[in-house]
Amino acid sequence: MNKRLLILAGGMSSRMKKAAENIQLDQQLIQQADTLTKGMIQVGSAGQSLIDYQLKNAQDAGFNEVLLLLHPEDALTQEYYESAATQQKYAGLSFRYARQFIPADRQKPAGTADAVLQALQQTPDWQIGRLVICNSDNLYSIEALNVLWNSEKPNALISYDREALRFAPERIQAFAVIRNDEEGNLIDIHEKPSKEEIDSILEKTGRVGVSMNLFVVEAEKILPCLETTPYHATRNEKELPTAINKLATIEKVAVFPLSENVPDLTNKQDILTVQNYLKAHYSSLN
């Protein structure tokens, strides 16, 4: 079976493009943050993007197919990885590309569930079999990729211990909480839990697991869920966690706890943090 990884890189990066004061960033990086998709900002000391590092982890985890879902106006990413493939920079990985086209009545993409749906619709041979889905602005470990792919249950997700993520408290509090039953199957990905709900989870399990949008799914099972995912009442986007919750009502979705940091590029302040992480953990790539 081919080991497939879908990387979602079609967002508008609106929070990254906001002005940032008192930040010591190279002007070239600021320009990239204002113009490129987050995963293509050159955070590596030799100019590598965060997607480059994710592809290295995918290689090491034995993946052999990558599908990059891009914004329709992204003129850089596909050309960059077509060139990298020609130069055999990612030996063993084959690349596919899809675009998240924007509906005529919208000014920005319709969300991550729509992104996955469009990627699969544009790549028919991926509509059967398993695939891992991840963001382009996070860096997921080899261990996390292996845990998901090796799951005995075909559908699964990682529940990250929120205390190990090393994010500011206000960011941690915004993450959706993963609730699972005693057998380790997903109940739901619960958005904006109350303090009482958090306290109850801590008392019962000793940890709070959050979603960082890393999933493995059977394509033929998730497709109907993606097609029927509604728009979020506030954000007006079709969100992948909603589709995963729908999947959990018809199929068992395994939940795997993991305690590790997940580098994240949300705003310009994150660039320095990610650069330091990469220097400490990926010296062979720098």
Instruction: Determine the Cα–Cα distance for residues 42 and 275; give it in Å rounded to an integer.
Output: 9
Domain boundaries, the chain: 4-285
If pLDDT is split at 50, 70 and 90, which confidence band does 169 have? confident
**pLDDT tens for each residue of 193-214:** 888 989 888 888 899 999 999 9
User: What is the predicted pLDDT for the residue at 77?
Assistant: 96
Instruction: Read off the amino acid at residue 50.
Output: L
Region 158-180: what's the mean pLDDT? 91
267 has pLDDT over 80? yes
User: What is the predicted pLDDT for the residue at 57?
Assistant: 97
285 has pLDDT over 70? no
Q: Right CATH number for 4-285 from 3.90.550.10, 3.40.630.10, 3.40.50.720, 3.60.20.10?
A: 3.90.550.10
- Would you say 277 and 263 are in contact if contact means Cβ atoms under 8 Å apart? yes
223 has pLDDT over 90? yes
User: What is the predicted pLDDT for the residue at 284?
Assistant: 62
Q: Which of 14-28, 106-120, 207-221 has the lowest mean pLDDT?
A: 14-28
**pLDDT tens for each residue of 125-165:** 999 999 999 999 999 999 999 999 999 999 999 999 999 99
Share of the chain above pLDDT 70, in %: 99
User: What is the predicted pLDDT for the residue at 192?
Assistant: 84
Q: What is the 3-state secondary structure (H, E, C) of 141-192?
A: CHHHHHHHHCCCCCCEEEEEEHHHCCCCHHHHCCCCEEEECCCCEEEEEECC
| Residue, of 13 and 201, whose pLDDT is higher | 201
If pLDDT is split at 50, 70 and 90, which confidence band does 79 have? very high
What pTM does this model have?
0.95
Rounded (10°) CA dihedral 27, 108, 176, 135: -60
Q: Residue 98, SS3? A: strand
Mean pLDDT of all residues in the chain? Answer: 93
